[in-house]
Structure 1
Amino acid sequence: MSLSPAFLDELRARTSLSALIGKTTKLQKAGREMRGCCPFHNEKTPSFYVNDDKGFYHCFGCSAHGDAIRWMTDQRGLPFIDAVKELAQAAGMEMPAMDRRAAEKAERAKGLHEAMADAAAWFAEQLGGLSGNDARALLDRRGISAETARTFGMGFAPDSRGRLKTALADYGDPMLVEAGLLIQVEGKDPYDRFRGRLMIPIRDARGRTIAFGGRILDQGEPKYLNSPDTPLFDKGRTLYNLDRAAPAARKAKRVLVVEGYMDVIALSQAGIHEAVAPLGTALTEHQLERLWRMVDVPILCFDGDAAGQKAALRAAHRALPMLAPGRSLAFVTLPAGQDPDDVVKGGGAVAMETLLRTPEPLVDRLWAAELAAEALDTPEQRAGLKSRLQELAGTIADTGVRTEYQSEFRRRFDAHFTPQRRPFRPMGNGKQPWRPPAPVTEDAKAFRAAGIDRVLAKAVLAGLIRHPAEIARHMEVLGSLRMAEGALGRLFEAVVDVALEDGRRAGSALDSERLVTILARSGFEPIASDLLRADAMPYTFTQKSGDPTRAREDLDEAIAILIARPEVDAQLATATQAMQARFTDEAFERQVALVREKQALELRLANLCQAHEDARALGPEGN
């Protein structure tokens, strides 16, 4: 299809811009123009003007500017060609003729749209029938009302290889395969892709069904199954619930990005309608552009676990080159183990709004991630931090924004390290080991006794065997730890006892080989050897070769995390119980603060693993 400038000019001339904009924005006569409050930013005094004679709108507050087509793409969120088609239909104009190939493609797309619409209607019918009992029970368990299910067009795919194929037989197998509704295996008849699943339609910006997400009813993998990419559906360019979230976002002046379908649906049922979700992938550049068409600063509300936070950081890095004046991202961290569905179930919309009240700016998220990436004790390490920050800022294409980020990172760096002070070191100055605060509750004491991370404890124990001189530095803390029951706990006690006994012998030097020999005499050789296998654990301090200084520093960090995590877990458990018993802003903020503290510990632990990967990548020469 060729859209000539003459056709587009005629389309603009036939479109009453004030009538088009007046459908959703209140306008009043102001001389030869119309005036109202800008729909693109929050304002109380009107600064948004529409000029029908010249065919453009302009806001003197936020500089939004455009014609009828731009209004349809920016305010309605439509693709350019769809905006033109809708305006042409309203103006009574025929779209230019398409060439043969384009016409065939459009005809095929029309058939696919009809097939997807009929599939959505059939799935919805099955949900309401006898075969949909289990799917309706799942919705009941998740607290999703029948009204919400209807709003989102939810349905059910029976556990059959051919029921949908039979129901849509008029379309023919080739079209249903192309739509992603059937699976074609060479040499066999096509069969239904979705079977025994709760069905969730995925719609485009115009509200047309273009794909499906299917959730399994019980246990099994994959938990969610999406349609494949088709002529209608490109998962990297699509956001779930965009058709409903776009108008809600314009009204709320914000858009939320969550991880999955059910999070979007739960938030909508709680009255928060401006949420979208990517479709099983990290946020793409196309999806970010779509978000920025709606608001300047989308808010990412990913789960509080390590995977969710890594996804948020990936999105932050992907957005950096695309930043522009006023255009950025913000982040809200959910409590560990909770998604938006859990948040609104526990405290309603007010709990989610409390989190959304103070989103974290993009620059804060980047700064915190780099600050926690590795130790910052030496000039070289601090120079590495500075280099990483400058490298991040350097990826920003916009000159003005790039300069501001470079200045902001320099300011934060100088403020953090000047006046001269040592950054936080869990093990202190090498003489006095760091000690955790005393448990504040009985629950905390119980966690202190039994909440040690067994996997991390094994790594620490292997590190102590590799570097026995470190035992004396942390003797008071290590001696007070109650390790897990069984051989691991007995080996831990034996290692401490050997170090204590060795320390009483003047002039003795306990090294790793000698420690292993002593342990072998006591019957600990098998478990000690298992711990010391080169591939057993991904930490620098568990390896036989490598930089000994870095290994000791990483071992210090691991011991600090080992001790601190049970304390934070205990306090988080207490805070969660208090919030569940009686929801208050103070209780919720306390829970959020502890969640962030726990996430910081998890990030520090992940950085220890990354240090080992970095050392391996360098190889023997790097060691």
Structure 2
Amino acid sequence: MTLSPAWLDELRARTLLSALIGKSTKLQRAGREWKACCPFHNEKTPSFTINDDKGFYHCFGCGAHGDAIRWMTDQRGLPFMDAVKELAQAAGMEVPAQDPRAREKAERASTLHDVMAQAEAWFVEQLGRAEGAHARAYLKKRGISEALARRFRIGFSPDTRTGLRSALKEAGDDKLVECGLLIRPEEGGRESYDRFRGRLMIPIRDARGRTIAFGGRILGEGEPKYLNSPETVLFDKGRTLFNLDLAAAASRKANRVIVVEGYMDVIALAGAGIEEAVAPLGTALTEGQLERLWRMDTQPILCFDGDNAGQKAAVRAIGRALPFLSPGRTLRFLTLPGGQDPDDVIRSGGRAAMEGLLETPEPLVDRLWRHEEAALPLDTPEARAGLKQRLVEHSRAIADRDVSSQYFNAFRERIDERFAPQRRDRQSYGGTGSFRPKKVQDRRGRWVDAPTPPHAATKSFQQAGAVGAAEAHMLLLGLLAIPDVIRLNAEPLSRLQFNDAKLDGVRDALVQAAYHGETLEGEGLATILQRVGAIDLLSTKGRANRLAFSRKHGDAQIERARRDLGEMIDTMVRRSELDARLAETTIGFGRTMDEKGWEEQQHLLLERHETERRLSELREQAEF
């Protein structure tokens, strides 16, 4: 099928835009135009205008703009071809002919839509009859009013084998079987019988509001609790969402779309005034359903039940979504308290309770981290390494390189924060010279046996990862200004290597002194520097700088400087490690680097870039 620009222009010309939009939006005449409160965002003063002569609408508030076709795709949520077909039918135009096979399929589908409409009407009629009394009682018990039941076209299937078959006998068994309404036994000679018996019937509609399948909810004991139509010419379960037709327009007003687990959750939310909810059809979210959701909103909120099954469904959805994440396109999550479902929340607290929970949905990155962190105990190095590996694999599953890099860095930062020792000020034990000679305070503030000073052979970093002279000089001046940082960071300092041999010797002497419990202040510090011929670092200018620092800065600034200095050391160590890994990766793969090796190298390069950026920030804000 080919739709020429001329044909589309004719379709737009035959469509009165104000009449089309006026079906769902209250309009006011404004000269030659119409105006309204924008249906795409909440506002009290009309800024949405419609110009029939030019054939477009425009909102001066949110920027929404388009023609009749765009209205059908953006506001109604229809696919392009469905929008064109609906407008063409209203305008009395024939859509250009399809190839014979496609035309035959479309004609058959049109006939089946009629059959489904007849079945829906029959189910609704049965709900009002005497046989439907217990179904009506069930709806009342669930808090579903008659008006809400009519809105969702809820019906009832009597517990008979041939009730629907007899009522729709003119359609013929073949069409009813093709619609999934009848079951035809495989054994020859036996008659077809109704698929749905003794169930509350909930229509499943496509984006145009046409019934394409049913979900049947059992009213008493028995399995399955819910029975859905099989896949048919009309019904593709993996690309359909319950309530898609009504939620598409509502989501644009609410600026969100909510995904819940089942039909009743959707209906309960709609009854409370939250109309932008949809549900998958008894299976995990598929790629096709995710694409439909992202077309409605770039950050859908997945609101699954708080029980184990609901949380597993959330994790499965994350696994499906990761490869398709892109800048601005993600998922958010809402975990309901105490194993409740949305229906429970609405019943106990009404709309206000649900809106309160929806105000702070959890970002995908947080939900994934929380799941993996809680998956297994993390009390061994192997377990922590396993956590890191799982998170790395998740970040690599994201096809968009920038988003993948952001996840990689976010996970690395959380691992560092979760497991890296925390720096704390050492406590005072009687002032200068009272530090315990055989004990050191670790970064958690605990007194432990002093470690053995590192042997030179343990320093195996690549020369490319060594700290430059200017950066090393700046770091040493900071350590001399706040010498207790040396003791608190002796281990990471010992792992650094400076390009300048003299400065490297100073760093080494300071670390050795810390390991041996020597005094790192006053004359003790001068003695250490004298030993390595670096007393000039405590020159008149250096002492003046240190005095200026201590006199002009209060405790808060000194604490911040101490914290920044510690972070600078850690970041330098991390940069050196990355340089070593990059060198190892490049040498290891050589000229035969495969895709996996290239991806690993790219992740390392991105992390190296982020590390250098953070170091630059720390250098600029240094106050010591």
Calculate the TM-score normalised by the size of structure 1: 0.61
Matches within 5 A, 1:436-455: none
Alignment match, 1:168:
168
Aligned to 2:116: 116
- Shift of the 361–33 alpha-carbon distance from structure 1 to 2, 3 Å rule, reads farther
Counterpart in 2 of 1:135? 135
Question: Corresponding residue for 2:260?
Answer: 258
What is the rounded CA distance, in whole Å, between the counterparts of 1:106 and 1:137 in structure 2?
A: 40
Q: Distance in 2 between matches of 1:369 and 1:206?
A: 38
Q: What displacement does 1:212 show?
A: 0.8
In structure 1, the partner of 2:202 is 200
Contact 1:75-1:294 at 8 Å conserved across structures: no
Aligned residue for 1:230, secondary structure, equals coil
Aligned equivalents of 1:41, 1:172: Cα separation in 2:
47
Deviation of 1:280 (Å): 0.5
Contact 1:51 1:57 in 2 (8 A): yes
Q: Deviations over 1:106-163 (max 9, x none)?
A: 2211211111111111111111111112212222222222222222111111111111
More moved, 309-318 vs 405-414: 405-414
Q: Is the Cα–Cα contact under 8 Å of residues 113 and 209 in structure 1 kept in the other structure? A: yes
Q: What is the aligned partner in structure 2 of residue 371 from structure 1?
A: 373
1:386-425 aligned at under 5 Å gives the runs 386-420=388-422
Residue in 1 aligned with 2:615?
A: none
Letter in 1 for 2:98: M
- Residue 125 (structure 2) aligns with: 125
The residue number in structure 1 matching 2:274 is 272
Three-state SS of the structure 1 residue aligned to 2:378 is coil
Which residue type is aligned with residue 83 of structure 2?
A
Alpha-carbon distance in structure 1 between the residues aligned to 2:376 and 2:99: 59
Residue deviations 1:437-459, cap 9 Å, x none?
A: xxxxxxxxxxxxxxxxxxxxxxx
Q: Which residue of the partner structure matches residue 216 of structure 1?
A: 218
State whether residues 135 and 219 of structure 2, in contact with CA within 8 Å, keep that contact through their aligned partners in structure 1: yes
What do the CA deviations read for 1:460-507 (whole angstroms, capped 9, x no partner)?
xxxxxxxxxxxxxxxxxxxxxxxxxxxxxxxxxxxxxxxxxxxxxxxx
Structure 1 residues not aligned, in runs of 5+: 422-428, 430-623
Q: In structure 2, what is the Cα distance between the partners aligned to 1:379 and 1:50?
A: 64
Whether the aligned pair in 1 keeps the contact of 2:76 and 2:245 (CA below 8 Å) is no
Q: Report the CA distance shift for 1:126/1:41 in structure 2 as closer, same or farther (over 3 A).
A: closer
Alpha carbons 1:303, 1:336 under 8 Å: kept: no
Counterpart Cα distance in 2 of 1:251 and 1:172: 43
Matches of 1:207 and 1:149, distance apart in 2? 16
Provide the rounded CA distance (Å) in 1 between the counterparts of 2:108 and 2:200: 28
The answer to which of 410-419 and 159-168 deviates more is: 410-419
- Verify: 1:295 aligned to 2:297, yes or no: yes
Deviations 1:211-230 (A, max 9, x none): 11111111001111111111
| Percentage of pairs with the same residue | 73
1:177 equivalent to 2:174? Answer no
Distance 2:360 2:312 in 1: 20
Contact 2:205 2:212 in 1 (8 A): yes
Aligned pair partner of 1:191 in 190, 193, 199 = 193
Q: What is the DSSP-based 3-state SS (H/G/I as helix, E as strand, rest coil) of the residue aligned with 2:311?
A: helix
* 178-187 or 371-380, larger mean C-alpha shift: 371-380
Matched residue type, 1:324: S
- Contact 2:266/2:277, CA 8 A, preserved across alignment: yes
8 Å CA contact retained: 1:238, 1:278: yes
**1:149 maps to amino acid:** A
After the TM superposition, which of the residue ranges 226-235 and 42-51 deviates more from structure 2?
A: 42-51
Q: Does 1:345 align with 2:347?
A: yes
CA 1:35–1:327: 2 relative to 1, 3 Å: farther
1:75·1:293 contact (CA, 8 Å) conserved in 2?
no
Task: Decide whether aligned partners of structure 1 residues 27 and 295 sit closer, same or farther in structure 2, where only a CA change above 3 A counts.
Answer: farther
* Aligned equivalents of 1:22, 1:409: Cα separation in 2: 49
Q: Which amino acid aligns with 1:300?
A: L
Question: C-alpha distance in 1, partners of 2:382/2:46?
Answer: 54
Mapped to 2, the partners of 1:245 and 1:384 lie a distance apart of: 41
Residue equivalent to 2:364: 362
1:541-580 correspondence to structure 2 within 5 Å: none
Q: Which residue of 2 aligns with 1:73?
A: 73
Partner of 2:386: 384
SS at match of 1:86: helix
Q: Distance in 1 between matches of 2:379 and 2:47?
A: 53
Q: Which residue in the other structure is 2:146 paired with?
A: 146
**In the aligned structure 1, how far is the partner of 2:2 from the partner of 2:126?**
43
Q: Aligned-pair distance for 1:55?
A: 7.4
How far residue 56 of structure 1 moved from its aligned partner, in angstroms, is 7.3
Query: For the aligned residues, what is the CA RMSD?
Result: 3.3
Cα distance in 1 for residues equivalent to 2:414 and 2:30: 48
Q: Check 1:110–1:23 CA distance in 2 against 1; reply closer, same or farther (3 A cut).
A: closer
Work out whether residues 27 and 34 of structure 1, in 8 Å CA contact, stay in contact via their aligned partners in 2: yes
- CA distance 1:298–1:100, change in 2 (3 Å): same
Q: Which residue of 1 aligns with 2:104?
A: 104
SS in 2 for 1:198: strand
> Once the 2 structures are TM-superposed, how far is the Cα of residue 306 of structure 1 from its aligned partner?
0.5
Post-superposition CA distance 1:73-118 (Å, at most 9, x none): 2332112211111232344432112333233222211211111111
CA contact (8 A) 1:199 1:213 kept: yes
Structure 2 equivalent of residue 82 of structure 1 = 82
Q: Structure 1 residues 49, 399: CA separation in 2 closer, same or farther (over 3 Å shift)?
A: farther
Counterpart of 1:282 (choices 241, 263, 284) is: 284
User: How many aligned positions are there?
Assistant: 423
- Tell me by how many angstroms 1:410 deviates: 2.3
- Give the distance between the partners of 2:124 and 2:26, measured in 1 at CA: 37
2:332 corresponds in structure 1 to: 330
Cα displacement (A) at 1:379: 3.8
**Structure of higher RCO (CA pairs closer than 8 Å, 6+ residues apart):** 1
Partner-residue secondary structure (3-state), 1:332: strand
Structure 1 CA distance for aligned equivalents of residues 56 and 370 of structure 2: 43
Structure 2 unaligned segments of length 5 or more: list them: 424-445, 447-624
Contact 2:217 2:226 survives alignment (8 Å): yes
Deviations 1:315-365 (A, max 9, x none): 112111222222211111112332111111112222212211211111110
Change (3 A) 1:68 1:400: farther
User: Structure 1's 284 and 31: CA in aligned 2 closer, same or farther, altered over 3 A?
Assistant: farther
Within 5 A, what are the aligned runs for 1:462-541?
none
Q: Pick the aligned partner of 2:320 from 318, 325, 330.
A: 318
The answer to whether the 8 A contact 2:41-2:254 is kept is no
In 2: Cα distance, 1:371 partner to 1:35 partner? 53
Check whether the contact 1:241–1:275 (CA below 8 A) recurs between aligned residues.
Answer: yes
**Per-residue CA shift, 1:242-266, capped at 9, x if unaligned?**
1121222122212111111111111
Q: Distance in 2 between matches of 1:361 and 1:194?
A: 40
d(CA) in 2 for partners of 1:66 and 1:216? 45
